[in-house]
Chains A and B, each alone.
Chain A
Amino acid sequence: MRRAQSEGADAAEAYAITFTSQSVYIEDDVPKVAEERSETGLGVRAARAKRVAFSATTLASPADVRSAVGAAIAGLRRVPEDPDFSGLPTEAGKGEVRGAWDGATATTDTAGLLDAAKTFTDAVRQSKATSVPKAIFRIQDYTFRVANSNGIVANHRGTLVFAYLTAKCGSKGKFGEGILKAMNTSIRPIDFAAHGATVARRAAENLRARAFKGKLPGVAVLDPLDLGEVFLTTVGSAVNGEDVHKGRSPWAGKVGADVASAGVTVRDRPRMPGGLASGVADDEGNATQDRTLPEAGRLKGFFADRKHAALLGVPAGNGYRRAVATVEGAYTRPAETEPSNLVVEPGRKSLEALLAEVDSGVYVEKFAAPEVNPLSGSFAMEVRNATLIKKGELADHVKVALLTGNFYEGLKNVVGVGRDLTPSHAFVMAPGCAYVPPMAFDGFELVGQS
């Protein structure tokens, strides 16, 4: 930072992150591959008047600092002015959020991950003809510091546990597969035996599922893991201050308007204890604070990084670069407006109670990929684990079908909100985490062969 100023920057910011990572990959029930890695990197943002440039480098030697600063300073000569740049943060978040870092998890090595993998694999194999073709278990222990020429310094240390779990069952060329992800800041609360039982059940149901014929409008009850990803890409974009400022958000100009059913409240909670994206400071160093987004269906506001907060007149605190499944590559990009922990306020009903209220519909546990157009809200997602609901009871398992609709319209037709939150993330390198319960939506349609 000092070097950047001595070389001609008016303002400078340095973001340094270091992490270690342990991974175990299960293939065909055995730990085929294990990895240990470590990496340290630096991102430098330099500004001169309204010009801003960024450079980043892996930190392998002191010379790397000089080259990163040199590249950022050289960049200032080639970039046009950014009229919206309003300087670097002036106040940093201090302290720590309980549960963001877990010492026992940080010291877990590949041998510890092998134990977790064995627990999971043993649970899967309790079901007849079921195996684990592929599973990934990963722990990261990371620390970052961000400092800028306004004198702020913010530190954060965290642990991330990520597991990608599959089970396969069947024989003679006919197989079914179940897939699940587990994420936490600590390895201890993750019940790998229960996850093993769940993916084994999903594999068996996927094998038994039949191609759905025709069309079925009605209520769709969605499992929180994939639903969380949908929330991140839609609501996370609609309340993103950068998207609002640029005119991309369908909720721009709608503060005070009803954008969802009365039962829907969504908050960004960067200081949630144990949250995967939790921290007292964001990746620019801004102090974080909770934001209420839609409350009882009514839009209350947006979140933003430093630059867009100034443009929109909202508090800063949502400038992020690190993702929650892995912090790899976090130093290679400048902070941008992103959610921290996007939390849907849970209801009081169990999943079973939600399902029991549905006369006709479908319960979707897993999509091929939960992708919704964030601008329009339209979607058609292939179901991989889905079960028809008839008069409150789960009936036939179906596949080769698309759940179609518009998610923004669906938010206005929420007919049930479950009580149990599950964390999930979107694209592996994208910041932001969703904590979402199972929810029931009216107005979607299941489409199969007809």
Chain B
Amino acid sequence: MTEFMSAAVRALEKAGAGFGDVRTEDRTAFVVRVANEQIQNVNEVRRRGWGLRAFVDGAWGYASGTSGRSADAVQAARKAVAIARRGSAAGVPTSKLRKMPSTAITLEPKVRIEPRDVAGEEKVAAAMEVCRAERRDEVANTNASYADSDWRFELANTWGACLQWREVRIRIAGQAVAGEGDRRESAFDFRDGTAGWELVKALDLAEFGRGLAQEAVEMLRAAKPPAGLMPVVTDPGVSGLLAHEVMGHASEGDEIVKRRSFLTDQVGKKVGSALVSMYDDGTYPGAHGSIPFDAEGTPAHKTTVIDRGIYRGFLHSLETSGVLKARPTGNGRAQDFGRRVWVRMTNTYFGAGRDKKDEIVEETKAGVLTRKWISGMEDPVGGSFQAVTQSGFRIVKGEVGERVRGMTLTGDALSILKSVDRVSKEIALDGGTCGKGEEDYVPVAAGGPFMRCKIVVGGG
């Protein structure tokens, strides 16, 4: 442990923290953005700092900074304890944390080709190749981006933990915008994960770009989506959005403690059809939301949230596992060193079924098949959700029909999951970032199989 870390921990103890920890972060990133085959930005960014937190009689105080001086950490520790005491005096009920065994571990990521070992020119060329491949007459605007990040963490706490780890992520993305008169339609896609340059090497960049252009052009001819409650075959990305937005946020332990979740009293109860199983797994190899430890130093974990339709449990931080008397699940995460810890998901997905995607479509008389997600919004209190897709297709008499524009899906979460009657063998996960409400973004992934269920659909 560095002198800085040990000074911080000693100061937290001396100032009277019931529990305290210090986490340092050193984050580097390399970002390339190109548009219309011209370079827009090549950015090299380093952001680092530390955050301390103190737990006093149920209240938390946080203080953070960027200097490397031990004296500043000592001062911040005193400040964090004073802030926590102020909260405690304001009436925060006393609670206890779930104590974790003290460990000293250093973990390195499983990356085959370190992005830092790849020349910047190669990264620029990769983005440019995607952008170039998007070019065709009907496409008004071509875009591509590349980003890698290398985050180093060190964590020590008053229980004796001393951890070091790295997280390496990579992402390549493209967007083609097709134009006809005033009309603009686009197609966007990406590949990402906790991986190295091998992820880019494995991708046929030109094919990736051409596919986007083709899809954007097809979107110009896409019809308005149908509206109302109907059978929907969700693709793996949209299934993941349902897992994440519908059930994942509502399973976050802090929402349960506050009774701000419609799942608060649902453990052991049926929440979906027997075909529905759901997991949050921070150990999922290569997925964008995978982490060695959460921001509290708890090792990542695979948590079964739904087992064959039966709701099994929640995701936890040290505090919620203490309050709810459960095992920590490695879901205490923070956006960065200056932000508080919340209970957050990692990689959230529905488990595979036994059907083939084509069979699911063939057995659907009328409905829609979704095509890629754009965004989602949770409603842990009310149990509804909003999921926005990039596009989709009508299903008519068991066949995939005309393409339709982006749709929004909504409905009552439990009604939707109970309506699931087909689940495919194949599953996939997509990465992204997730906010708690609308702030505190952390890297996550979500996914699942093709699933058929009944959802309210609409689109403009």
Residues in chain A within 8 A of chain B (CB atoms)? 21, 23, 25, 27-28, 30-41, 52-61, 64, 67-68, 71-72, 74-75, 78-84, 110-111, 114, 118, 133-134, 136, 164, 168, 173, 175-177, 206, 211, 215, 246-250, 254, 325-326, 328-329, 332-334, 367-369, 371, 373, 375-382, 384, 399-402, 404-407, 428, 445, 447-450
Can you list 16 A-B contacts (CB < 8 A)?
A25-B340, A31-B90, A32-B58, A36-B64, A36-B79, A36-B83, A53-B42, A60-B48, A75-B44, A79-B124, A114-B90, A177-B382, A246-B36, A254-B182, A369-B375, A371-B374
A54 touches B42 (CB 8 A): yes
Taking the complex as formed, is B184 at the interface, i.e. its CB lies under 8 A from any CB of chain A?
A: yes
- Chain B residue numbers with a CB within 8 Å of A405 are 460
Instruction: Return the CB mask of B381-396 against A: 1 if under 8 Å, else 0.
Output: 1101110100000000
B177 touches A377 (CB 8 A): no
A329 CB to nearest chain B CB (Å): 8
Q: A378 to B227: give the CA distance in the assembly, Å.
A: 14
B299 CB to nearest chain A CB (Å): 24
Q: A294 to B339: give the CA distance in the assembly, Å.
A: 40
Q: Taking CB as reference atom, which chain A residue is nearest B455?
A: A449
Taking the complex as formed, is B405 at the interface, i.e. its CB lies under 8 A from any CB of chain A?
A: yes
Q: Taking CB as reference atom, which chain A residue is nearest B436?
A: A134
Given contacts A79-B124, A404-B227, contact A378 B386 (CB under 8 A): no
Instruction: Return the CB mask of B306-337 against A: 1 if under 8 Å, else 0.
Output: 00000000000000000000000000000000
Q: Taking CB as reference atom, which chain A residue is nearest B340?
A: A33
Q: Taking CB as reference atom, which chain B residue is nearest A427?
A: B438
Q: How many residues of B contact A (CB 8 A)?
A: 93
A33 touches B141 (CB 8 A): no
Stretch in contact with the other chain, from B96-104, B259-267, B275-283, B345-353:
B259-267
Given contacts A39-B66, A247-B141, A368-B386, contact A380 B408 (CB under 8 A): yes
A-B pairs with CB below 8 Å: how many?
285
Q: A399 to B90: give the CA distance in the assembly, Å.
A: 36
B362 CB to nearest chain A CB (Å): 26
Q: A31 to B340: give the CA distance in the assembly, Å.
A: 13
Given contacts A34-B86, A55-B43, A246-B35, contact A175 B381 (CB under 8 A): yes
B49 touches A58 (CB 8 A): yes
A206 touches B458 (CB 8 A): no
- Chain A residue numbers with a CB within 8 Å of B377 are 368-369, 382
Q: Taking CB as reference atom, which chain A residue is nearest B336?
A: A328
- Chain A residue numbers with a CB within 8 Å of B384 are 368, 382, 399-400
Taking the complex as formed, is B370 at the interface, i.e. its CB lies under 8 A from any CB of chain A?
A: no
- Chain B residue numbers with a CB within 8 Å of A211 are 412
A110 touches B35 (CB 8 A): no
Taking the complex as formed, is B17 at the interface, i.e. its CB lies under 8 A from any CB of chain A?
A: no
- Chain B residue numbers with a CB within 8 Å of A35 are 61-64, 83, 338-340
Q: A78 to B260: give the CA distance in the assembly, Å.
A: 51
- Chain A residue numbers with a CB within 8 Å of B411 are 400, 449
B119 touches A78 (CB 8 A): yes
- Chain B residue numbers with a CB within 8 Å of A407 are 460
Q: A324 to B175: give the CA distance in the assembly, Å.
A: 27
B62 touches A34 (CB 8 A): yes
